[in-house]
Amino acid sequence: MRKLILAAASIAAFNIAGSILVDQAGAQSPIVIKFSHVVAANTPKGLAAEKFKELAEKYTNGKVKVEVYPNSQLYKDKEELEALQLGAVQMLAPSNSKFGPIGVKEFEVFDLPYILPDLKTLRKVTDGPLGAKLLKLLEPKGMTGLAYWDNGFKQMSANKKLVAPADHKGLKFRIQSSKVLEAQFRSLGAVPQVMAFSEVYQALQTGVVDGQENTWSNIYTQKMNEVQKYVTETNHGYIGYVVVVNKKFWDGLPADVREQLDKAMKEATAYGNGQSAKENEDALAEIKKSGKSEIVKLTPEQDEAMRKAMMPVYKDVASRVGQPLIDEFLKETGRSPMN
């Protein structure tokens, strides 16, 4: 796979350089941005990517062409960041969890259970100095962080009703590659299994894993509710994305083009984040309507028990994520994970 990525990167670099040269000569050959992602086109991320394409091409008057590749058409979870770093694609929107395995462990702070109570609190982090500081950490890895995109809050699903920590014991749960998420499921006595997003439906269907955690929109668009009897409304964690672009490519763009792309990204971000809440609400309604999964609501006492069970995760991963960062994050939110 690495050889294929390298080959694609060489072709992409040649094409981009050619486009810029031709453009400087006065011709109309556009600069191509390949935007790859792993979810469906009708998810919050998919819709935001399409909006960025529309606005980028409009604001640059055709100087830029954005090609969006959804649903792991080009690369799976584990491949896409390497593809970006090598220049085989120019833009991605990986989940926060994906940066830990490449050495930017600080982004796993977003994976801590119950650290974000709501989207308003999230905005205080992503739109403030802490969010900007985190994006800067990506530059030594050959990428520039452009924006934070929402997916939403996660729910737990399985073929067993999950209302107490003990209900998770021994079950195999699919997770993204994140040491924080590993610790989270181990705190519940479950067995975490890292797996690409594109493989989750089949793994649930065949019993390779027993359950998973995801947002309503991801559960619905990937039809996970069709192979899971129960979905417990926990809102225990958050899935968000960081839009990143290959740094060398970005820095090499003409200043006026980069300025218009920045404008397009800001507007696409506002649009996509606005769509996120709606898409999750609509997906929940469709899941209820299908009747294939029972939606389980926790009582206040059950919710408190789940929170208590997962609190040791904060101590377990402090040395990895950084206790000062966790403290800064909690100070910024002004909330405790227990309420």
Portion of the chain with pLDDT greater than 90, in percent: 84
pLDDT reading at 20 higher than 70: no
* Pairwise CA distance, residues 42 & 56, whole Å: 19
What counts of helices (H) and strands (E) characterise the chain?
A: 14, 11
Task: Average the pLDDT over 214-229 and give the result.
Answer: 96
pLDDT reading at 256 higher than 60: yes
Convert the pLDDT of each residue in 68-79 to its tens digit.
999 999 998 789
DSSP-derived 3-state class of residue 29: coil
pLDDT reading at 53 higher than 70: yes
Picking from 3-7, 156-160, 210-214, 326-330, which range would have the lowest pLDDT averaged per residue? 3-7
pLDDT reading at 213 higher than 60: yes
196: left (phi over 0), alpha (psi -120 to 50) or beta: beta
Check: CB of residue 83 under 8 Å from CB of residue 77.
no
Convert the pLDDT of each residue in 141-180 to its tens digit.
999 999 999 999 999 999 999 999 999 999 999 999 999 9
Structure confidence at residue 2 (pLDDT): 59
pLDDT reading at 11 higher than 60: no
Strand partners, 238: 153
H or E element in which residue 34 lies: strand 31-36
* Pairwise CA distance, residues 3 & 1, whole Å: 5
Convert the pLDDT of each residue in 103-114 to its tens digit.
999 999 999 999
Amino acid letter for position 274: G
Structure confidence at residue 338 (pLDDT): 82
Structure confidence at residue 23 (pLDDT): 46
DSSP readout, 136-147?
HTTGGGTEEEEE
Dihedral angle sign, alpha carbons of residues 266, 107, 275, 82:
positive
Convert the pLDDT of each residue in 86-99 to its tens digit.
999 999 999 999 99
DSSP 171: -
Task: Average the pLDDT over 319-336 and give the result.
Answer: 91
Q: What are all long-range contacts of 269-272, with beta carbons under 8 Å and residues at least 24 apart?
A: 269/48, 269/147, 269/148, 269/149, 269/243, 271/47, 271/48, 271/51, 272/44, 272/45, 272/47, 272/48, 272/49, 272/51, 272/149, 272/150
> Listing from the earlier edge strand, what are the strands of the sheet with 143-153?
64-69, 31-36, 91-92, 238-246, 143-153
DSSP-derived 3-state class of residue 261: helix
* Pairwise CA distance, residues 196 & 288, whole Å: 26
Structure confidence at residue 164 (pLDDT): 98
